[in-house]
Amino acid sequence: MKIQDDQFPFLFSGKFGDYYGRVVNGKQVIVKKRGPRKSEYTTRELTARRNFAIASQFLKHIVPIVQKYDEPGGRSGFHKAMSHILQNAIQGQHPDQRIDFSQVILGKGILPIPRTYHVASPAKGLLELSWSSGMMKRKASKSDKIFVAAYCEATHESKCEPFGSERRERKYLMDVSGFSGQRIEIYFGFVSPTGLLKSTSIYAGPITLL
């Protein structure tokens, strides 16, 4: 229940009796504390809570990557990725929902992505990403750097590389020895040397590491 701010003669933040207050842009926002819920959660509510929980669990481990898509003065990359997952990448019925990793997009950008790419595990604990160079398109630079996120669903852990090798090198080796023998989900993309331009993230598929 929102209370009109003219009922209080001063501005405050925090708890005040049965009220919670905060100041937004110089204006008082006051909410009255809700009493205990009397009814059971509906299946729809439980589904939404579960969807949010598993999406948050996934994204919190790859924050260095989704932060690349923050909008100055606008939406954060985390919230944009969360919205996309909730709308497009959750499968199954409550309580057995899970993320369809192939439908996850960590962020969208204007830098071109390679026409072909390949992911492999050439040695124990190593991940290798390779990609085609092709014709350099507008806004692309040979100095663009690859970013990589490797996520292990079994352990709910990840390893991220925000700035890897340059686009011109067409190959990147990443030490993920902590996931040796595990299946991991791979995402990558490119960021300009200044960090201002990004490509849309690419799901490179799952791979079981040596």
Return the pLDDT at 134: 61
In angstroms, rounded to a whole number, what is the distance separating the alpha carbons of residues 105 and 80? 9
Mean pLDDT, range 105-133, rounded to an integer: 95
**Structure-token pair, residue 66:** 């989704």
The answer to whether the beta carbons of residues 129 and 146 sit under 8 Å apart is yes
In angstroms, rounded to a whole number, what is the distance separating the alpha carbons of residues 34 and 20? 10
Tens digit of each residue's pLDDT (9 = 90 or more) over 39-48: 788 888 899 9
In angstroms, rounded to a whole number, what is the distance separating the alpha carbons of residues 43 and 49? 10
**Other Cβ atoms closer than 10 A to 156:** 12
Top CATH class, 43-208: mainly beta
Return the pLDDT at 12: 59
CA-based diameter of the chain, in Å? 68
**Structure-token pair, residue 192:** 């300009």
Q: Is 166 exposed, middle or buried (0-12, 13-18, 19+ CB in 10 A)?
A: middle
Tens digit of each residue's pLDDT (9 = 90 or more) over 30-64: 777 676 666 788 888 899 999 999 999 999 999 99
pTM of the model: 0.80
Return the pLDDT at 4: 47
Return the pLDDT at 35: 65
Q: Does residue 210 sit in helix, strand or coil? A: coil
Examine the pLDDT at 186 and tell me if it is beyond 60.
yes
**Other Cβ atoms closer than 10 A to 77:** 20
Question: Residue 13 — very low, low, confident or very high, per pLDDT cuts 50/70/90?
Answer: low
Domain boundaries, the chain: 2-32, 43-208
Q: Any bridge partners for residue 27, and if so which?
A: 24
The H or E element that residue 47 is part of is: helix 43-59
Examine the pLDDT at 123 and tell me if it is beyond 50.
yes
**Other Cβ atoms closer than 10 A to 109:** 19
Chain centroid to CA 179:
20
**Structure-token pair, residue 153:** 């669903």
Examine the pLDDT at 128 and tell me if it is beyond 90.
yes
The answer to whether the beta carbons of residues 30 and 23 sit under 8 Å apart is no
Looking at the chain, the whole-number percentage of residues with pLDDT higher than 90 is: 68
- Average of per-residue pLDDT values in the chain: 87
Q: Is the peptide bond before 95 cis (omega within 30 degrees of 0)?
A: yes
The answer to whether the beta carbons of residues 151 and 160 sit under 8 Å apart is no
